[in-house]
Amino acid sequence: MASPSKRPTFDQAFVQAVGAECRTDKTTHHGYVRFCPLFLAPLRRCKTLAIVEIGYGEGKSLPFSHLLIPTRACVLPGS
């Protein structure tokens, strides 16, 4: 997978590839592929952004979110 700093084209194919790499069901079962490019692409330009992951489950969506929108830190409750 390309480094987030290289800013690959943020399209459905990119989101699908990141989902497959992270083995999350966000891109298969939940269909995030349709919505991520539209709603999340503009957030990639934000210098200060915090994302709260609700419903941690197996933890596969954390790396998925981080690759889509690189953030400086990820804090989990209780860690």
| Cα–Cα nearest to 37, from 62, 59, 69 | 69
What's the chain's average pLDDT?
Answer: 80
For residue 41, give both structure tokens: 């692409």
Rounded distance between C-alpha atoms, residue 30 and residue 34, angstroms: 10
The whole-angstrom distance between residue 56's C-alpha and the CA centroid of its chain comes to 13
For residue 79, give both structure tokens: 């860690």
pLDDT per residue as tens digits for the range 32-55 = 899 989 998 888 888 777 777 776
Q: Which residue has the higher pLDDT, 77 or 16?
A: 16
Rounded distance between C-alpha atoms, residue 34 and residue 55, angstroms: 20
Q: Which residue has the higher pLDDT, 78 or 44?
A: 44
Contacts of 12 (CB under 8 A, 6+ apart): 33, 34, 36, 37
